[in-house]
Amino acid sequence: MIYADEKTANIEIGEEYYVNLLNSWIEIFPDGNRNAAGPKFFSFALEQSLNIEDFLEYNKLYCAVSGSVLQPGGTPDLLSIYEDQTNNLICGDYYKCCWPCSCDLMKYAKTKKANFIFENLEYELNVLTIKDPCQKENFPIQVNKNYFCKNNKLDPDQVFTLDGDLVIGLLHNASECTNEQIASIASNEMTGAMCEIRNNQPIEEVEGGMGDIFIQMAN
């Protein structure tokens, strides 16, 4: 349970980091193009020498699918994402700019456990990943490929990689799904009915959100 004063403190911290993201925009995106650039935000947050609590707050301030910056204090969607290798369903909170991004993430992303060290302490987090997109012939022209890739391979100097996959963001409060969580996701108007419609469409017919921009990268 998060108490009101704790939530207020987190929002205040988030506002500080939100301003820092805006002030660092040209550093992160020299050409101003943030399309599908969640991986750049994740990498930027890792470089800030944060404690674990602040790192988590940073990762609530961008949409991993679209690359949009998010206002602090937003309400996340509860999502279910398949874990790479085990194929277990992992449920957690995702901060998004619009509902189609949640749908795209559930269909096209995976989650993996990764260990990070903050203030000399090790933490296991569930990161969101997609397969290396750098050799795709249909890499979307709306995305700056040079942000992720060098010589048609993922560039570890610019993005965080895990087992050869591209880390695009973080799944918060993640754990193996319970039956209650799965039922909650399915009964939600957006993550249930709307996502079912969207995720059953042929890729060429998908519209709204980042549409085929992220999907071309992740599929």
d(Cα 114, Cα 143) in Å, to the nearest integer?
26
Which three-class secondary structure state does DSSP give residue 176?
strand
Domain that holds residue 156: 4-218
Task: Return the residue matching tokens 């060429």.
Answer: 204
Say what percent of the chain tops pLDDT 90. 78
pLDDT of the residue at 6 = 44
pLDDT of the residue at 138 = 85
Which residues contact residue 17 at a Cβ distance below 8 angstroms, ignoring those fewer than 6 apart?
Answer: 54, 57, 58, 61, 72
pLDDT of the residue at 42 = 97
Say what percent of the chain tops pLDDT 70. 92
Count Cβ atoms below 10 Å from residue 173 Cβ, excluding itself. Answer: 11
pLDDT of the residue at 14 = 73
d(Cα 23, Cα 216) in Å, to the nearest integer?
30
**Between the CA atoms of 17, 115, 97 and 72, what dihedral angle is there, to the nearest 10 degrees?**
-30
**Regions of the chain with pLDDT less than 50:** 1-9
**Average pLDDT, rounded, for the chain:** 90
d(Cα 169, Cα 155) in Å, to the nearest integer?
16
Which three-class secondary structure state does DSSP give residue 51?
coil
pLDDT of the residue at 125 = 98
d(Cα 113, Cα 125) in Å, to the nearest integer?
6
Whether the full predicted model's pTM is greater than 0.75, yes or no, is yes
**What is the number of alpha carbons within 13 Å of residue 99 lying toward its C-beta?**
13
pLDDT of the residue at 204 = 76
Number of domains making up the chain: 1
Nearest CA among 153, 158, 157, 167 for reference residue 111? 167
pLDDT of the residue at 3 = 39
